[in-house]
Amino acid sequence: MKIKVLFFCTFCIILFSLIDCNAHENKQATDTVKVKKHDPKKASCLALIPGAGQIYNKKYWKLPIVYAGLGASSVLVYYYADQTSIYRKEYVARIMKEPEETWNPDLADKPIETILLNRNYYRRNMEISVAACAIVYLLSILDACVDAHLYYYDVSDNLSLGVKPKLEYNPVLKTPMPSLAFVLKF
């Protein structure tokens, strides 16, 4: 237990030493106002703590998605690891020809082939759940980094591209000619 606490404290110290809050402040030439720039590196470092990158980017609505994904996959990892352990112990007990009193009473009536199939099934599902947990974690880091890059991107209605029909007068043929006009609004 002490090793886990020591590892966690060391990890936090290293993480917070990498994040220098004052290094990313940009001083403007006008007045003495400091403007903080939104930093993708800081968002990525903070995203190592699940959900912290989304909080830094002010995308609070993504927190339940991140925690639900990590929580569900973690619960599945725990469940499948527990079932794998039960069937593995039962399989080893039967292979080693241990007395039937040491067998699991819930599995005593099942043949050894079924025990082996169930052990492999639960182990496979545990490995898939571990992969799902890792994918959700990496996607939350990637999401925080991409959101930080697009933090100042303008998505207002003032930016649009429209196609409008237009009639232009052709001086050579001396007739109006139909055409399309592409209108870009900034």
CA angle centred on 56, ends 52 and 61, rounded to 5°? 75
pLDDT band at 184 (very low <50, low <70, confident <90, very high): confident
Domain boundaries, the chain: 61-154
Alpha carbon separation from 6 to 13, 62, 185 (Å, rounded): 11, 31, 57
Distance CA 67, CA 72 (A): 8
Report the pLDDT averaged over residues 25-32. 49
Question: pLDDT digit string (tens) for 153-164?
Answer: 766 666 677 888
- pTM reported for the whole predicted model: 0.63
pLDDT given at position 164: 86
Residue 44 CB contacts under 8 Å (≥ 6 apart), including other chains: 53, 141, 144, 145, 148
Mean of per-residue pLDDT scores for the chain: 82
Q: Is the pLDDT of residue 96 over 60?
A: yes
pLDDT given at position 130: 97
pLDDT band at 131 (very low <50, low <70, confident <90, very high): very high
Distance CA 136, CA 2 (A): 29
